[in-house]
């Protein structure tokens, strides 16, 4: 029984939407899961805030917790000035979290296992930092690349290194999320295929198959942790980068 | 939630009259204000403690790889555009490696850089 661990990441065209030149733009399963994530988040937040009771119910309590969690993350990394980016960070965090957790459901598609998605999210952060930094500080934004207290003769080298370090941010930002989700889902699939392979090998195989089964259970728990953690890491790094745009050259 | 257990002792004494109720509301309001007050040093140093060791380790490795990748990409493009192969790749790979190491040291909190 051949199990292809990559098959789960296949993009399937559901129906065509538009045609630009010779390129067909189709609504894919990836897009469908993204829409589903947005619907889930919207329903969750609207449902949580609809009653606005003084003593929150379960859904309202969770919605408030999510808000406060993101708000505290922003305040602790980018200060109160960072709160103007709250909608942006909150959208990123909830979107990635929902998409990651929905992807853990068996047979579901995980949007963040495609680097084009994570790279787009990371580029939106990177461009926000650039645009806001230049809009707010003008050319002083370049102070970001000039650390203080560096002897003048090695300054050009340091500036080069700082610029490269800055440019590498969207890459590490996107690859981290993408690779974590991809690796986790492949590992899950490989261990799950061990169960069927061993299980088809008679009674001893059946007994042996309990080992990968236990592993899959443990891995699923780990993946749930990773799903949350990567959304959190993405959000906190977004805050750290935005902090550079708000206070460059400190 | 933690607030539920704290409010329990308040709930035990029944409200006698309007004054007692308003006094209790006042106390509750004070306590809420105390609990919700944001920390004063908002622009303080960023936390370097990631919640989990896996995430931390993964973050460090991607930081290094990203630095080297960007260096290699820029060097390769410069080589192609300016026709100075292989010098662009050599120089920018080294610079990219340095940037990667700088990223890692920053992510690990070894360098207290520009006081983020």
Mean pLDDT of the region A160-184 = 90
> pTM for the full model?
0.78
**Residues sharing a CB contact under 8 Å with residue B10, sequence separation 6 or more, in sequence order:** B24, B27, B28
The residue of chain B nearest to residue A148, with distances taken between CA atoms, is B114
**For residue B31, is it within any domain?**
yes
Rounded Cα distance between A2 and A105, Å, is 22
Rounded Cα distance between A200 and A202, Å, is 6
Higher-pLDDT residue of A61, B7: A61
Judged by CB atoms closer than 8 Å, whether chains meet at B103 and A80 is answered as: no
Q: Which residues of B touch A (CB under 8 A)?
A: 1, 38-39, 42-44, 46-47, 50-52, 54-55, 58-59, 62-63, 65-67, 69-71, 74, 92, 95-96, 98-100, 102-103, 106, 113-116
Give the best residue of B67, B74, B105 to mutate against chain A (max A CB count within 10 A).
Answer: B67
Mean pLDDT of the region B96-106 = 90
Judged by CB atoms closer than 8 Å, whether chains meet at B95 and A80 is answered as: no
Whether B47 shows a pLDDT value over 60: the answer reads no
Burial class (CB in 10 A: 0-12, 13-18, 19+), B60: middle
Strand segments, DSSP code E, in chain A are 13-20, 23-28
Say if CB A184 and CB A228 are below 8 A apart: no
* Token pair recorded at residue A102: 């929905």
Q: Which residues of B touch A179 (CB under 8 A)?
A: 58, 62
Say if CB B54 and CB A226 are below 8 A apart: yes
Give the number of other CB atoms < 10 A from CB of residue B54: 14
**For residue B76, is it within any domain?**
yes
The pLDDT assigned to B5 comes to 47
Q: What is the CA radius of gyration of chain B?
A: 28
* Token pair recorded at residue B11: 């709930």
Instruction: Out of A40-54, B15-29, B47-61, pick the least confident.
Output: B47-61
**For residue B42, is it within any domain?**
no
Mean pLDDT of the region A47-70 = 88
Residue corresponding to tokens 């299980």? A199
Give the number of other CB atoms < 10 A from CB of residue B115: 11
* Token pair recorded at residue A190: 């490989």
Mean pLDDT of the region A99-118 = 92
* Token pair recorded at residue A24: 């067909």
Confidence band (pLDDT; 50, 70, 90) for B58?
A: confident
**For residue B41, is it within any domain?**
no
B57 and B88 co-located in one domain: yes
The pLDDT assigned to B96 comes to 92
Mean pLDDT of chain A: 89
B28 and B66 co-located in one domain: no
* Token pair recorded at residue A125: 């952060």
**For residue B68, is it within any domain?**
yes
**For residue B48, is it within any domain?**
no
B28 and B59 co-located in one domain: no
B58 and B14 co-located in one domain: no
Range of the domain at B59: 53-108
Query: B93: closest CA among B60, B65, B113, B57?
Result: B65
Instruction: Out of A13-22, A72-81, A90-99, B48-57, pick the least confident.
Output: B48-57
Q: What is the DSSP letter of B57?
A: H
A111-156 pLDDT, tens digit each: 999 999 999 999 999 999 999 999 988 888 888 888 777 788 888 8
Instruction: Out of A91-105, B1-15, B83-97, B100-114, pick the least confident.
Output: B1-15
B57 and B103 co-located in one domain: yes
Judged by CB atoms closer than 8 Å, whether chains meet at B99 and A80 is answered as: no
Judged by CB atoms closer than 8 Å, whether chains meet at A165 and B103 is answered as: yes
**For residue B113, is it within any domain?**
no
B58 and B103 co-located in one domain: yes
Rounded Cα distance between A47 and A25, Å, is 33
**Residues sharing a CB contact under 8 Å with residue A83, sequence separation 6 or more, in sequence order:** A71, A74, A75
* Token pair recorded at residue A80: 């109160």
Say if CB A164 and CB B70 are below 8 A apart: yes
Looking at the complex, report in whole angstroms how far the Cα of residue A17 sits from the nearest Cα belonging to chain B: 35
Say if CB B75 and CB B96 are below 8 A apart: yes
Which range of A12-16, A67-71, A246-250, B22-26 scores highest in mean pLDDT? It is A67-71
**For residue B16, is it within any domain?**
yes
Mean pLDDT of the region B10-16 = 54
Rounded to 10 degrees, the C-alpha dihedral A140/A146/A151/A156 comes to: -110
């Amino acid at each position: 029984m051949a199990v292809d661990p990559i098959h789960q990441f296949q993009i399937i065209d559901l129906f065509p939407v538009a045609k630009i030149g010779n390129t067909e733009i189709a609504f894919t399963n990836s897009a469908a899961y993204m829409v589903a994530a947005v619907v889930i988040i919207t329903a969750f937040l609207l449902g949580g805030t609809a009653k606005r009771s003084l003593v929150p119910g379960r859904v309202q309590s969770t919605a408030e917790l999510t808000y406060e969690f993101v708000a505290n993350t922003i305040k602790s990394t980018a200060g109160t000035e960072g709160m103007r980016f709250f909608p942006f960070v909150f959208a990123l965090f909830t979107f990635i979290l929902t998409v990651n957790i929905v992807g853990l459901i068996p047979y579901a598609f995980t949007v963040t296992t495609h680097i084009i998605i994570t790279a787009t999210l990371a580029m939106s952060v990177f461009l926000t930092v650039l645009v806001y930094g230049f809009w707010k500080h003008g050319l002083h934004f370049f102070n970001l690349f000039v650390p203080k207290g560096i002897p003048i003769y090695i300054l050009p080298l340091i500036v080069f290194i700082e610029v490269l370090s800055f440019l590498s941010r969207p890459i590490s930002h996107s690859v981290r999320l993408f690779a974590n989700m991809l690796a986790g889902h492949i590992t899950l699939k490989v261990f799950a295929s061990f169960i069927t392979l061993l299980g088809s090998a008679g009674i001893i195989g059946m007994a042996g198959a309990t080992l990968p089964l236990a592993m899959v259970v443990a891995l699923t728990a780990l993946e749930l942790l990773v799903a949350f953690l990567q959304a959190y890491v993405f959000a906190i790094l977004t805050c750290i980068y935005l902090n550079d745009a708000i206070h460059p050259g400190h | 939630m933690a607030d539920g257990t704290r409010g329990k002792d308040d709930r035990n004494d029944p409200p006698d009259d309007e004054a007692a109720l308003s006094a209790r509301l006042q106390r509750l309001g004070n306590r809420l204000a105390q609990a919700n007050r944001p920390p004063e040093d908002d622009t303080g140093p960023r936390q370097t403690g990631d919640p989990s060791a896996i995430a931390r380790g993964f973050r460090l490795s991607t930081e290094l790889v990203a630095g080297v990748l960007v260096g290699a990409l820029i060097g390769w493009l410069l080589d192609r555009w300016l026709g100075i192969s292989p010098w662009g790749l050599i120089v920018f790979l080294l610079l990219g490696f340095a940037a990667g190491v700088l990223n890692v040291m920053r992510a690990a909190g070894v360098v207290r850089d520009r006081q983020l």
